[in-house]
Chains A and B, each alone.
Chain A
């Protein structure tokens, strides 16, 4: 049933959406959304849309209550910012309004706000999902598919045309020629498949703050790519001197130490692609985050080699995000720039702090690949 309020409610949602857009940068850099993620919904706190009036400042006021306690005791339920709610004339309180937004909507807002282009499919969607639909009629077929109504119609047509139909005694008898059968067509739909392979450096030099940045950034990349591709898969690789594949939770919470051999991750990534994601059927997005402090120049060269020969031919885009850490030298990004400065498939971005996440998302997704 539609209610009259729906209109006002819709209007309110629209205003809220505007608010979210205005504050998107804040939400992104604070990462507060991720903790509030439900199955498909994200609760977004927005400051209550309050109508400003001439009012008294809040902290001076206080009020009257009822109950036990001595002067100086905190009010029962001191969590409440404004107790005495319901007191005459004050409906004021510092409520934070939480609004549920679907991830899809959120990604749409992200796209609008950052002016992200839609991703252009590069004809890789060859996988097709074939299924049959009964949409036609033919003259031959199994009896089980006989179309009664059409058959009857044909028979009636024939009998009227030949003059054998008697309206007073309307009996219609079909002959084999009248029979019509349902027929199917096989429809093939291209299915767009994409996989994100996240790789993260978990060596000693990556601190909690760096990981938090990666976590926030990957949330948004996930949201955007999920919107672009149905059936997005994610794989996670962590590495220090050796690489291994882990699940999402481990990916974000592991703390390791030790050296860094980036090539180990790239090698594993390449193996995963070869094993599970044939390049002509999948849109592949490897994202690698590190503080850019690779073990040796030799290993860096090995990485370049791996990328050139194994990764780049298969992927849509190779993204490297370098998180600044107090320990890392940050050399790796320079090496990548040196080797791939003219290669469009390689996107690098430096993420200095949380505020830079927005810019880096734009770097990564701004090309629409």
Chain B
């Protein structure tokens, strides 16, 4: 889509609103990248949403599928996208043409919350294009922080790269490979940007050096007599056998995509495609890591700004109606907006009243606790700190309390095979917290690592699923193994458990097998 052909600039009355809201946001202490708002019609909005927020990405059918679903549910009036904002510097945000002015204001206020979060939450440092791979202290506040996050360009470049391959190799071939890569998309290490240990590459090279057999010193013309060729050959063989068999990888590797990039026998274009998929997967990691926090933060600020500053009295009903829709927890659904915003408010309240620290923890007098108020007024400061230093897992782990769970009527549910339906299981604090954390950890995906690239000394790839109570989904696992075999070109196996028995799921390109396995 050519940006220049479309008139997506904001009309004047909205530019005025934008400036107004921006001022309020700054006054509240929000610190954000420049935000560029654009106005889109609904089909443009659906298109961009289908592309995950980016106007230009590589060609793939799943974006078309997204688009069909979005436009259908819009046309049938089931859902509508209000707001979309991209983690980019400057940030781009899209407004839907035809929304009421109240809605547009709400969206703008919400967007400033998001962009503040993009800029300040430590997870998003991983998307800085200029410092990637070398992030040392994600917490340290840099003055004049203005990172390179031109992801819109980056994604467009990815699109160009892939379309070049498509031109050369044909859509079917490239698309099939992209499909395979997407099957492996979640096999990355979310913390890789922060570990800082890039395996030094020289070490490997040493391995590949030809073995030098020490020779007896001899004049050149005598050399072939004193150091006969056959003897040297025999020595070399001997040394080769002695050479300690180095396991590859030395440490189990969670970034399976990286491992494949480095070691799988891929063609050039395949490597390039895989690299694109991996880079994009990493881009989306921080957003997945902070869904509750990010939405909560933006909602906290839109409601604060709207109700305290922005709205006129005549708009309040519209706003409340809309806000209620966003915060709804209909039919027992878990709504990250709702839980997020409530948790921030809860934290603010606690730190305002001084309900933290040792004294608070050790107090057993319920009555005293109920009326505990030290008038510290630290709440605002605390939530700003929380938005910078936490992600969903640590956010929930640290601040979810029994009172909060009770107050918010949270529960766990599970599938009841007997009644063939989902049922509420428990309202116990411990169980709710455990389940929530489990879902958030690794985004609810299984932990998979590469443990051996030469399994059984046959050049086969062995992965390990760190079983934590849940089995892998069988049919999907088979297909995914197929994608791995396609990249690795040799049989691939994954060690996991099925019904509590350790097994090895193996695929050799023709046949799937499941055999008992002992680590």
Asked if A83 and B413 make an inter-chain contact with CB atoms under 8 angstroms apart, the answer reads yes
User: Chain B 453-493 against A: per-residue CB contact (8 Å), 1 yes, 0 no?
Assistant: 00000000000010000111111111110010000000000
Asked if B410 and A62 make an inter-chain contact with CB atoms under 8 angstroms apart, the answer reads no
Q: For the complex, give the distance between the alpha carbons of A90 and B446 in Å.
A: 12
Asked if B412 and A66 make an inter-chain contact with CB atoms under 8 angstroms apart, the answer reads no
**Would you call A254 an interface residue if the criterion is a C-beta within 8 Å of the partner chain's C-beta atoms?**
no
Asked if A65 and B417 make an inter-chain contact with CB atoms under 8 angstroms apart, the answer reads no
**Would you call A86 an interface residue if the criterion is a C-beta within 8 Å of the partner chain's C-beta atoms?**
yes
**Would you call B444 an interface residue if the criterion is a C-beta within 8 Å of the partner chain's C-beta atoms?**
yes
**Would you call A171 an interface residue if the criterion is a C-beta within 8 Å of the partner chain's C-beta atoms?**
no
**Would you call B1 an interface residue if the criterion is a C-beta within 8 Å of the partner chain's C-beta atoms?**
yes
Asked if A83 and B332 make an inter-chain contact with CB atoms under 8 angstroms apart, the answer reads yes
Asked if B421 and A66 make an inter-chain contact with CB atoms under 8 angstroms apart, the answer reads no
Partner of A4 from the list B56, B187, B474 (CB cut-off 8 Å) is B56
With an 8 Å Cβ cutoff, the count of chain B residues facing the other chain is 84
**Would you call B353 an interface residue if the criterion is a C-beta within 8 Å of the partner chain's C-beta atoms?**
no
Chain A nearest Cβ from B443, distance in angstroms: 3
Asked if B423 and A54 make an inter-chain contact with CB atoms under 8 angstroms apart, the answer reads no
Partner of A54 from the list B331, B392, B476 (CB cut-off 8 Å) is B476
Which residue of B has the minimal Cβ distance to A69? B424
Asked if B288 and A11 make an inter-chain contact with CB atoms under 8 angstroms apart, the answer reads no
Q: For the complex, give the distance between the alpha carbons of A60 and B469 in Å.
A: 9
**Would you call A242 an interface residue if the criterion is a C-beta within 8 Å of the partner chain's C-beta atoms?**
no
Asked if A62 and B415 make an inter-chain contact with CB atoms under 8 angstroms apart, the answer reads yes
Asked if B413 and A12 make an inter-chain contact with CB atoms under 8 angstroms apart, the answer reads no
Which B residues between 31 and 70 are near A, CB-CB below 8 angstroms?
Answer: 43-44, 46-47, 50-51, 55-56, 59-65, 67-69
Which residue of B has the minimal Cβ distance to A66? B329
Known contacts A57-B470, A75-B422; decide if A65 and B332 are in contact (CB<8 Å): yes
Known contacts A52-B183, A64-B411, A68-B409; decide if A4 and B336 are in contact (CB<8 Å): no
Which A residues between 61 and 97 are near B, CB-CB below 8 angstroms?
Answer: 61-78, 80, 83-90, 97
Partner of A88 from the list B46, B56, B65, B440 (CB cut-off 8 Å) is B440
Asked if B412 and A55 make an inter-chain contact with CB atoms under 8 angstroms apart, the answer reads no
Partner of A12 from the list B68, B414, B474 (CB cut-off 8 Å) is B68
**Would you call B266 an interface residue if the criterion is a C-beta within 8 Å of the partner chain's C-beta atoms?**
no
Which A residues between 130 and 161 are near B, CB-CB below 8 angstroms?
Answer: none
Q: For the complex, give the distance between the alpha carbons of A100 and B486 in Å.
A: 34
Asked if B413 and A10 make an inter-chain contact with CB atoms under 8 angstroms apart, the answer reads no
**Would you call A275 an interface residue if the criterion is a C-beta within 8 Å of the partner chain's C-beta atoms?**
no
Q: For the complex, give the distance between the alpha carbons of A190 and B227 in Å.
A: 98
Which A residues between 32 and 61 are near B, CB-CB below 8 angstroms?
Answer: 49, 51-61
Asked if A74 and B421 make an inter-chain contact with CB atoms under 8 angstroms apart, the answer reads yes
Asked if B480 and A87 make an inter-chain contact with CB atoms under 8 angstroms apart, the answer reads no
Chain B nearest Cβ from A101, distance in angstroms: 13
**Would you call B371 an interface residue if the criterion is a C-beta within 8 Å of the partner chain's C-beta atoms?**
no
**Would you call A7 an interface residue if the criterion is a C-beta within 8 Å of the partner chain's C-beta atoms?**
yes
Asked if A12 and B62 make an inter-chain contact with CB atoms under 8 angstroms apart, the answer reads yes
Asked if B67 and A88 make an inter-chain contact with CB atoms under 8 angstroms apart, the answer reads no
User: Chain A 145-186 against B: per-residue CB contact (8 Å), 1 yes, 0 no?
Assistant: 000000000000000000000000000000000000000000
Q: Which residues of B contact A70 (CB under 8 A)?
A: 424
Partner of B415 from the list A13, A15, A59 (CB cut-off 8 Å) is A59
Known contacts A54-B187, A54-B446, A66-B410; decide if A78 and B421 are in contact (CB<8 Å): yes
Give the interface segment out of B126-134, B212-220, B425-433, B511-519: B425-433
Q: For the complex, give the distance between the alpha carbons of A29 and B498 in Å.
A: 36
Q: Which residues of A contact B427 (CB under 8 A)?
A: 71
**Would you call B500 an interface residue if the criterion is a C-beta within 8 Å of the partner chain's C-beta atoms?**
no
Q: Which residues of B contact A9 (CB under 8 A)?
A: 64, 67-68
**Would you call A343 an interface residue if the criterion is a C-beta within 8 Å of the partner chain's C-beta atoms?**
no
Q: List 10 A-B contacts (CB under 8 A).
A: A3-B44, A8-B59, A51-B179, A54-B186, A54-B472, A65-B333, A66-B410, A83-B422, A86-B335, A88-B440
Which 6 pairs across A and B sit closest by C-beta, in order of nearness? A89-B443, A77-B331, A12-B64, A62-B414, A52-B479, A8-B64
